[in-house]
């Protein structure tokens, strides 16, 4: 008869201790867990390239996380490559317009890929003026987005999108914006950028 009571007492002590630790350390454990899911690898490269192109670092991390999950050798079924998932044609276009510091031409090189990905993102933001539209163009292409902006079912003002007709692109834009918000809150990035 005593064994069940002793077992019950041990279970209660473990539960109470775990509950107290959860209350005391909960926010720290949550932040630690989120930092594992939302890491900041390649920080020197991201910081340098985000600064060069006037982009918020948390946006660059959000795009990289959505595009490649930080796998520098990632390849998509559309043949986009590297951390920021650039097609060869887009990579060469950006490298010609904004030559990487080392003159590199390797889409899988972290420095070259992030440089050209940030150049493209800056160009799209300057062209469209709206983050949602720029992200849609990053994913679906400029031609598609220009078509959507001229379609009254997709855009009422020719500048913003009320509807993104490609479900994959709509999900991508939402994912990047969610990622950016998590990075912003988790790492304390300023919201003014």
Question: Where in the sequence numbering do the catalytic residues fall?
Answer: 67
Alpha carbons 125 and 151: distance in angstroms, whole number: 20
Partners of 81 in beta bridges: 75, 86
Tokens of 151: 């379609």
Residue 45 in tokens: 């490269």
- Contact between 84 and 68 under an 8 Å Cβ cutoff? The reply is yes
Six token digits for residue 116: 């050209």
> What whole-number distance in Å separates Cα of residue 176 and Cα of residue 67?
9
Q: Please say whether the beta carbons of 140 and 166 come within 8 A.
A: yes
According to DSSP, the residues that pair with 124 across neighbouring strands are none
Cα 81 to Cα 15, 59, 70, 85, distances in angstroms: 48, 19, 12, 4
What torsion, rounded to 10 degrees, do the Cα atoms 101, 107, 108, 110 define? 30
């Amino acid at each position: 008869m005593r064994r069940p009571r002793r077992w019950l007492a041990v279970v209660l002590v473990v539960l109470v201790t775990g509950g107290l630790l959860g209350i005391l350390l909960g926010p720290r454990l949550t932040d630690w867990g989120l930092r594992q899911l939302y890491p900041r690898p390649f920080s020197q490269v991201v910081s340098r390239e985000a600064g060069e192109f006037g982009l918020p670092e948390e946006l660059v991390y959000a795009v990289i996380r959505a595009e490649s999950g930080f796998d520098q050798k990632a390849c998509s079924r559309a043949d986009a490559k590297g951390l920021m998932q650039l097609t060869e044609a887009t990579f060469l276009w950006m490298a010609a317009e904004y030559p990487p510091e080392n003159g590199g031409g390797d889409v899988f090189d972290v420095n070259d890929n992030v440089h050209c990905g940030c150049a493209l993102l800056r160009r799209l933001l300057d062209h469209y003026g709206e983050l949602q539209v720029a992200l849609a163009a990053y994913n679906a292409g400029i031609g598609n987005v220009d078509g959507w902006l001229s379609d009254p079912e997709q855009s009422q003002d020719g500048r913003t999108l009320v509807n993104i007709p490609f479900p994959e692109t709509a999900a991508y834009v939402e994912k990047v914006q969610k990622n950016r918000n998590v990075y912003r809150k988790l790492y304390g990035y300023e919201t003014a950028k």
